[in-house]
Chains A and B, each alone.
Chain A
């Protein structure tokens, strides 16, 4: 049963610290999405990769957030420095577009981040 995995599942840190979240997409999937979910904003797309290349990161605060795919099996989302307003659940999703736009996105369990 192929799944998207995310680590860590929970992270508590202090303001100003660097946070790195990792995602392993489903083997063979060539699209990766990073989302942030909060009560106030709902689900927000932060970044999108296809074949490891970033196609859209317009939803990401550029001054402190960065997203990369060092290889096809690993996507990372970094926050440096972190701020309390970054507290949220961060989801990674992967997909395999077959016909026209992207097909189903498969979501990981999320990383719950709390910045004190």
Chain B
């Protein structure tokens, strides 16, 4: 069965510092991968997605993610974090049936001044 692992439950970074959130997936074929962000009291919003092609994907709000098949990873990065980036981030993969999105447990990002 497919699975998504986000090893870090929470991460704290200083404003202006770089950020990398880790995501590992388990899937036999080329996966469809997503990163979503959830601000407090809100629903999830798509940051970026990978289906095929260039393994470095650009998203909204200055985020990017890199698909590495050899490492089964799809880590999210941002070169300079803003206080407004404090939120919970979810990595997700679409299952073999093609419709069921499997979400990781999430990583909560704290940004300190």
**Pair A56/B106 contact, Cβ less than 8 Å:** no
**Pair B44/A91 contact, Cβ less than 8 Å:** yes
Residues in A whose Cβ lies below 8 Å from that of B103: 42-43
Residues in A whose Cβ lies below 8 Å from that of B42: 109-110
For residue A77, CB closer than 8 A to chain B, the reply is: no
**Pair A56/B99 contact, Cβ less than 8 Å:** yes
In the complex, the chain A residue whose C-beta lies closest to that of B100 is: A45
Q: How far is the CA of A56 from the CA of B36 in the complex (A)?
A: 22
How many B residues face the partner with a CB closer than 8 A? Answer: 21
What's the minimum C-beta distance from A87 to chain B, rounded to whole angstroms? 16
* 5 A-B pairs with the lowest CB-CB distances in the bound complex, closest first: A107-B43, A101-B98, A43-B103, A107-B44, A101-B94
What's the minimum C-beta distance from A25 to chain B, rounded to whole angstroms? 13
For residue A31, CB closer than 8 A to chain B, the reply is: yes
Q: How far is the CA of A56 from the CA of B95 in the complex (A)?
A: 13
B21-58 Cβ-contact flags toward A at 8 Å (1 or 0)? 00000000000101010000111111001010000000
Q: List 21 A-B contacts (CB under 8 A).
A: A4-B43, A31-B99, A42-B103, A42-B105, A42-B106, A45-B100, A45-B101, A56-B99, A91-B43, A93-B43, A99-B51, A100-B51, A100-B98, A101-B94, A101-B98, A102-B99, A104-B49, A107-B43, A107-B44, A109-B43, A110-B43
Q: How far is the CA of A45 from the CA of B45 in the complex (A)?
A: 16
In the complex, the chain B residue whose C-beta lies closest to that of A91 is: B43
How many A residues face the partner with a CB closer than 8 A? Answer: 24
Residues in A whose Cβ lies below 8 Å from that of B90: 43
A44-74 Cβ-contact flags toward B at 8 Å (1 or 0)? 0100101000011000000000000000000
Residues in B whose Cβ lies below 8 Å from that of A108: 43
Residues in A whose Cβ lies below 8 Å from that of B106: 42
